[in-house]
Structure 1
Amino acid sequence: MEICTYFKSQPTWLLILFTIGSISIFKFIFTLLRSFYIYFLRPGKNLRKYGSWALITGPTDGIGKAFAFELAQKGLNLVLVARNPDKLKDVSAAIRSKYSQIQILTVVMDFSGDIDEGVKRIKETIEGLEIGILINNAGISYPFAKYFHEVDDELLNNLIKINVEGTTKVTHAVLPSMLKRKRGAIVNMSSGAASLIPSYPFYSIYAGAKTYVDQFSKCLHVEYKKSGIDVQCQVPLYVATKMTCIRKASFLVASPEGYAKVALRFIGYEARCTPYWPHALMGAVVSAFPESVFETFNIKRCLQIRKKGLLKESRKKE
């Protein structure tokens, strides 16, 4: 009774502030507990329920290669799609030597070349197979930070063709068989450059292409979730791969193997996710700052990358 009397005696504006503050605190605690459950306690789904085969684009290096090994470990047969036949042969042999029971088919496809011809070969290869999981991992970025007007025609075309057209057409080729069986999972790889970071100067075409992948995935998620198809966009930040030119993994930089292991646990859940929790934490910190503050920092960082890239390029020409 004394507590009720105390609150009744307070001015209305103070009660409103107290209510708003309480709601904010409860929301923060709920978000914290939910995130802890998602990243550390929530079990991954049985990926074999989608089908016995997984198709991965860009599986010869980095995240794609790590995905291939992780999926093979879980007992899924693989269709590997990449442009280099020798690398495809090497990664297939490496997987078979470790997981001898796994069946592996390969498709040679240059995403910077004739995509329609490559998609045709994919369709022929997967005819009659239960493709349960599609991972659209093939993609390229800039060799180093560049102003938009400095990007040559070849790089400009490839950034759009590989990241946008390739992802779209491979999905279009694989989706119908999933719909017939009313089950399947599609994972499209976006980037923190599209979702977690307010702007990504000097990588404008790459950021724009990955933003397309993000929105494309969200739309498909809504279109097909009632048809038994789980479409997901994964949004990593820094991973130690050839594409990012980062050599060593660290707390904030995931190794390809570390990323792939946690990424598989997220398949079948959120429409968009950042599986590696330090990346999610980094994104939350960035979003807490005003955009102008982060932009100032990011411009300086990218200009330093550009300076080093131009110096390295000039040395190659000498």
Structure 2
Amino acid sequence: MVASLWFFFWLASLGALQVFALSIRLLANLVLFLRRPKDLRCTYGAWAVVTGPTSGIGHAMSLELARSGLNLVLVGRDPTRLREISETISRTYAMQTKTVLFDFSLVSTAQGDEAMSRLREAVAGLNVGVLVNNAGVAKPGAVYLHEVDVEAWVRMIRVNVLALTEVTAEVLPGMVRRGRGAVVNIGSGSGSVLPSHPLYSVYVATKRYVAEFSKSLSVEYQSACIDVQCQIPFIVETNMVSSAVKNSFFLRPWVLSPDAYARAAVRWIGHGTLCIPNFAHRLQWWFTCLFPDSFKDMNLLKRNLQHRDIFRRIKPLRETRANSRE
């Protein structure tokens, strides 16, 4: 009986210490929200380069950066949407814009080399102070690795890893010459916080690359006064997030609009190498840390298998609609 009480006391104490440690980390990070945002134009430079600016987080961050007083080089694959966001920025904020047509799934090919040359020409002579590597793909979604043709995974790696690396390598030399700059890479909570993300294995691996890449670059370029940051969003209401997640009873309160995320994200530029900019997402991170990895793995697998079933039902409907439009 006494041994059982001591064991219970030991477990309770261990749990209390864990909650206390996590609470201290949460409070320490929450203090950062009180810091004033940097004047990005004065601190880094007059221009920002944003990849994937035509929808979701990239679209919202482009508008927020323009509101902060930065001119923008907008890099994406859809010429119509690039023109629309460019005109919106010019009309609403009277900032200068340039657009570069670049399909990141073609990076490291002849067409990708041509697009990289266009980007090089676009930024030549500009005082590029901020680079936001936002472009990314999550399709084909929740599937087992063997259920999808390998080309889909190659495309994901090209967009999420190779393109981000090449664009960064293209923009960094100018920042080094000027002795200032900020590189912001958009990661994911699935790649930096969760122990695993079953059925999204390639996606989560690419996002873990983004986090590790950012951490090492931050150390490399600290002496050059260049801030390298990986921002870690959890669930944001974008095209990359399935309707099953958006409409989940348990997850819906944690889903942010792109505009809400962007407001916090721009304020956090230059503050920390790995960061979770939004308060709601930081609370979600804190809550997630309370559970053991085995519990999270089990529940993620169960949830993602449900998503897989939904995608498998939806896919034939989408193909039927696409064929009817042809």
The normalised TM-score by structure 2 is 0.86
Equivalent position amino acid for 2:102 in 1: M
The amino acid of 2:104's aligned partner reads: F
Q: Residues 181 and 226 of structure 2 are in contact (CA less than 8 Å); yes or no, is this contact kept in structure 1?
A: yes
1:204 to 201, 206, 210: 201
Structure 1 residue 33, shift from structure 2 partner: 3.4
Alignment partners' CA distance in 1, 2:297 and 2:86: 43
1:158-182 CA deviation, whole Å, 9 max, x = no partner? 1100000000000000000000000
Structure 2 residue aligned with 1:68: 62
Aligned alpha-carbon RMSD (Å): 2.2
- For these two proteins, the number of residue pairs brought into alignment is 298
Partner of 2:3: none
1:240 lines up with 2:237 in the alignment: yes
Match of 2:80 in 1: 86
| Correspondence for 2:179 | 182
* Unpaired runs of at least 5, structure 2: 1-13, 321-326
CA distance in 2, matches of 1:32, 1:317: 46
The residue correspondences of 1:228-307 to structure 2 (distance < 5 A) are 228-246=225-243, 251-307=253-309
- 1:112 match: secondary structure: helix
Residue of structure 2 in register with 1:3 after alignment: none
Question: Which residues in structure 2 correspond to 1:1-318 (within 5 Å)?
Answer: 30-39=24-33, 41-48=34-41, 49-100=43-94, 102-113=95-106, 114-246=111-243, 251-318=253-320
Q: How much does 1:25 deviate? A: 8.9
Q: What is the identity percentage for the equivalent residue pairs of Structure 1 and Structure 2?
A: 43
Is this contact kept in 2: 1:142–1:203, CA < 8 A? no
* 1:287 CA drift (Å): 2.0
Task: Give the match for residue 10 of structure 1.
Answer: none
CA distance in 2, matches of 1:206, 1:256: 20
Query: Which whole-Å CA distance do the structure 2 matches of 1:72 and 1:92 have between them?
Result: 10
1:197–1:283: 8 Å Cα contact kept in structure 2? Answer: no
Aligned equivalent of 1:5: none
Q: 1: CA distance between counterparts of 2:202 and 2:287?
A: 25
Aligned partner of 2:105: which letter? S
Contact 1:44 1:266 in 2 (8 A): yes
Deviations 1:227-276 (A, max 9, x none): 11000001111000011134679541111000010011111111101111
For residue 229 of structure 2, give the secondary structure of its aligned residue in structure 1: strand
**Is the Cα–Cα contact under 8 Å of residues 57 and 64 in structure 1 kept in the other structure?**
yes
Deviations 1:155-211 (A, max 9, x none): 111110000000000000000000000000000011111111110000000000111
Check whether the contact 2:48–2:73 (CA below 8 A) recurs between aligned residues. Answer: yes
Q: Which amino acid aligns with 2:299?
A: F
Maintained 8 Å contact 1:115/1:166:
no
Give the Cα–Cα distance (whole angstroms) in 2 for the partners of residues 316 and 85 of structure 1. 24
d(CA) in 2 for partners of 1:68, 1:236: 16
TM-score by length of 1: 0.88
